[in-house]
Amino acid sequence: MPAVLHANEGGTRDPLVFVHTWPIEGRYFDALARHVGSEQPLFALACPPPEVCVRFNLVADWVEYELDHLSGLPAGPFRLAGWSFGGVVALELARRLAQDGAGVSSLDLVDTWIPRGHPRTVAESAAHHLQRILALAPPARRAEIAAVARRVPGQVRALTSQKAQKLARRFGRGTPPPQHEVDPQARAIWVPFVKYEPAPYFERVTISACEASIRRNDGDPSLGWSRWLVAGFATARIEGEHRTMWTEPHIKSIAQVLTGTGAGSGAGRGEWG
């Protein structure tokens, strides 16, 4: 697969550049190109090959790779977009382009969960549960406290077991866990995802999300991004699930949002100006 996919290059609108991070994304490019219309130039920065992915440990590594390939595209300003982890890369690419004085006319995050949106330590977990409990009405609050109390003993046992296993391995006791070969393209996503630290972003963003992702983010249509989007954001709900949203007929809705021909279901901190 070429490093850059392209379609509708004769169109007059700002180029729409999609950041691909999963190999599966290339199969939907032609359908998306048809739905965005002939006046919308469309490019996709394809998922890097495995021999390149092995060097990626941070989102910044992805950004440097994408910048190299952007240099071969028509001049911006660009309309940047990304699905899943690609949205994280697209956001940081937009931030870098702004720092370098290049124009970005829009940024779309398609079903992109914010990294570190869920707790990874005991302290983060406690703060997360407390925040949820305080936001609930008294009847629901009591039910949530009871639910958390039921989960805590099992979580404590699991954490204790993990700590004991780590100590046993540290002092040469116990059987080390088997080492599994990790797909370099998957590693190039999960390692930067875990290490990513969000920062405020000062331009408008559109967030498209499926219902299942919204539910898994406590009903938040921004999928955890709202506190970091200083200039506000618009939201759009897409039918289907995380992967099936790219199949017909749902992909048409994604194309409408990307081209501004479909209305979002709401907005954060004000409607679009």
**Ramachandran region of residue 265, left (φ > 0), alpha (ψ -120 to 50) or beta?**
alpha
Least confident of 12-26, 71-85, 127-141, 252-266: 127-141
Confidence of residue 267 (pLDDT cuts 50, 70, 90): very low
Give yes or no for residue 182 having a pLDDT over 50: yes
What mean pLDDT is reported for the chain? 83
- Determine if the pTM surpasses 0.95: no
Question: How does residue 103 score in pLDDT terms, banded at 50, 70 and 90?
Answer: confident
What structural domains and CATH numbers belong to the chain?
4-117+184-268 (3.40.50.1820), 122-170 (no CATH)
Least confident range from 66-80, 88-102, 204-218, 219-233: namely: 66-80
Residue partners of 235: CB distance under 8 A and separation at least 6: 206, 207, 208, 209, 221, 222, 264, 265, 266, 267, 268
Q: Over range 183-197, report the average pLDDT.
A: 91
Task: Take residue 155 and report the two structure tokens written for it.
Answer: 């979580």
**% of the chain surpassing 90 pLDDT:** 52
For the segment 155-183, the average pLDDT, to the nearest whole number, is: 66
Query: Pairing relation of β-strands 78-83 and 16-19?
Result: parallel
